[in-house]
Amino acid sequence: MKRIFSSVLASVCVLTAMAQSSGYPIDPVTFTKVKVAEDSFWGQRLKSSREVTIPLAFSKCEETGRYENFVKAAKQMHSAVNLGYEVGGFSFDDTDVYKTIEGASYVLQTYPDAKLEAYIDSVLTIVAAAQESDGYLYTARTMNPLHPHEWAGDTRWSKEEVLSHELYNLGHMVEGAIAHYQATGKRNFLDIAIRYADCVVREVGAGEGQACVVPGHQIAEMALAKLYTVTGDKKYLDEAKFFLDKRGYTTIRDAYSQSHKGVLEQDEAVGHAVRAGYMYAGMADVAALTGDRQYIDAIDAIWNNIVSKKIYITGGIGSTSAGEAFGANYELPNRTSYCETCAAIANVYVNYRMFLLHGDSKYYDVLERALYNGLISGVSMDGGSFFYPNPLESAGEHHREPWFGCACCPSNISRFIPSVPGYVYAVKDNNLYVNLFMTNTLTSTVSGKEITLSQKTGYPWNGNVLLSVDKTALKGEMTLKIRIPGWVKGSPLPSDLYTYEDGVKGGYTITLNGSAAPGEITPDGYFTITRKWKKGDTIEMNFDMQPRIVKANDKVVADRGRIAVEKGPVVYCAEWPDNEGISVRKVLVSKNPDLKVNRSSILGGVDMISAKAQAMLFDADGRMSLKDVELKLIPYYAWCHRGSGEMSVWLPQEFRAFSTYTE
């Protein structure tokens, strides 16, 4: 008994120690160390997620039979005869449970809630009962092994590369289990996930008697890499690398699932955008954990392709509904754009990992754009309704939904939003990175010594940020690295895909204790200050934030003759409720639009922008005339909160732009 106890204790100690290491050159500062003010821009969204989105997601798991699937699987396992359960829904419905537990676990780390914790435990009891004796857990097969889900195949893994999603389910299970373990210290979910992961390691591989398959829908790669960092067991990293190394060399070889060629040979983002994003994140994880230079080179090339040819001004990715996929280079239609919410989340994951790998601020320029625009547009400000695709233009055919039958996007939102505070800071040796700007308090360690900083700002509505050293145990120097956003430096993105066309010269000032800060912008894009910090030190940043006019590269056919408007990190759109009597899709913005900012109480309080324009009007005989109007714009993320109607991000400034309305 003593030996068993020692073994268990050693395992727990390994888990505790390893959970602190990411494997990347730069270490994340976990969101549990960052307390975001509730009355701030992000504080309000965190509150909506905690009070609305996550409870809604759990209730939908109950209403739609997600839990019942686990119950049926458990009953079937203990029955001597086939109970004849009809297997409906999607083969990945189990993941809605796992993702919601993940988001709730993030919440528990900052807002302890005994009732919520008990509820999760009750759900995990149901989940555990559905796990087969060898660790396999896939209700779409287990609840009726004679007639499993039509996507599942007759045997385990036989349809994995097509539609079964067995390994996709594993990925979300592992991600949720790690979050739950780190939040509660309990192993009830982690042990379930480890047993399934061990089953996969035994049964899926290139060895004799194994199924030589790769995930049809990626995420297991990044999840298994994370499980390795938590447990220290290298077999999980090896399995993640096997999934990547073998991709393009198994039965299924097509661009849709990024299996058209080996991953190290790929240099263009293709296929299903969510699958792609998760795979690229997994490639970055494996590159970091193994030091494999080939993986780093491959993911660098793919990232460059996305940022220079395949990303929307909103940070959205995936231009076509056919396969929810990337289009060709520069194929970025507006009304038919897909930009799935899950793809925006995947885009954040990729750029976050690229930053941790390379330490360059340009990755955060992409991350921030996706975060403030194409990602949060996918959930209403009250947290209770959702978009699946996020188009950049609408004729009124879009509206927010309270849920979806294929619920990947709302359940993904429920797990992502609570993790946002974890993207604000990062640490490497004696370097502390400040990557995002939101009112918060940080308590973390640098070089093993504790430091407490507070940040106060009205961002994203203004560019004034006050950073204060509230407490420090540091004895030596610390290097503070403050990200200077690309939009301040005159670049919407780190490529020539979009450019500012208004001639405005932005700028910034940074002071330390009231005087010019003794630092400089280093090649990594950060304003870098190295000194011995003391309690009471203050850094004030002022980023010039004014409306800007953006044009797309002329190779983007859909945007020729059009402009977009943004202010700071926020992209704007014209929407019908603010422009009564005119079509926002049939206006011509003036060459000198005289952009003006007005604070408004609508939509939870936003900065609105007005622009001089001419509306196209038609009389009874179809004759066109132009009328001078003041076109009003709102943040893109807030559109369709007041009913369905016309909306447009890219606004015509030339008559040639109207030819693309039939896209």
Residues labelled catalytic: 324, 408
Torsion sign over Cα 200, 233, 342, 52: positive
- Pull the structure tokens for residue 227: 């499980």
Which candidate, 485, 181, 510, places its Cα nearest to that of 362? 485
Give the CA diameter of the chain.
93
Contacts 24+ apart (CB under 8 A), 593-599: 593/549, 595/546, 595/547, 595/549, 595/565, 596/547, 597/546, 597/547, 597/567, 599/461
Do 184 and 131 contact (CB within 8 A), yes or no? no
Give the start-end residues of each E strand in 354-408.
393-395
What φ, ψ does residue 311 adopt, rounded to 5°? -120, 145
Residue 646 and residue 626: Cα distance in Å, rounded? 19
Residues sharing a CB contact under 8 Å with residue 430, sequence separation 6 or more, in sequence order: 446, 447, 476, 477, 478, 479
Number of C-beta neighbours around residue 351 at 10 A: 29
Residue 99 and residue 411: Cα distance in Å, rounded? 6
Do 483 and 465 contact (CB within 8 A), yes or no? no
- Pull the structure tokens for residue 322: 């056919």
Number of C-beta neighbours around residue 219 at 10 A: 27
- Pull the structure tokens for residue 166: 């067995």
Do 141 and 86 contact (CB within 8 A), yes or no? no
Residue 272 and residue 159: Cα distance in Å, rounded? 18
| Beta bridge partners of residue 30, listed in sequence order | none
Q: Look at strands 520-521 and 646-648 and give their pairing.
A: unpaired
**CA distances to 48, 412, 593 from 200, in Å:** 37, 24, 59
Do 500 and 550 contact (CB within 8 A), yes or no? yes
Apex 482 CA angle, 476 and 483, nearest 5: 150
Do 318 and 339 contact (CB within 8 A), yes or no? yes
**CA distances to 366, 554, 564, 615 from 652, in Å:** 25, 14, 9, 11
Alpha-carbon 164 to chain mean position = 24
Which candidate, 663, 657, 491, 494, places its Cα nearest to that of 588? 657
Number of H helices, E strands in the chain: 16, 24
Axis crossing angle, helix 220-231 with helix 188-203, rounded to the nearest 10: 120
- Pull the structure tokens for residue 471: 């407490």
- Pull the structure tokens for residue 344: 């925006």
Number of C-beta neighbours around residue 483 at 10 A: 22
Q: Determine the straight-line distance between the first and last CA of the chain, rounded to whole angstroms.
A: 71
Kindly state the helix (H) or strand (E) to which residue 63 belongs, with its residue range. Answer: helix 54-63
Number of C-beta neighbours around residue 470 at 10 A: 14
Do 57 and 411 contact (CB within 8 A), yes or no? yes
Q: Is 604 left (phi over 0), alpha (psi -120 to 50) or beta?
A: left
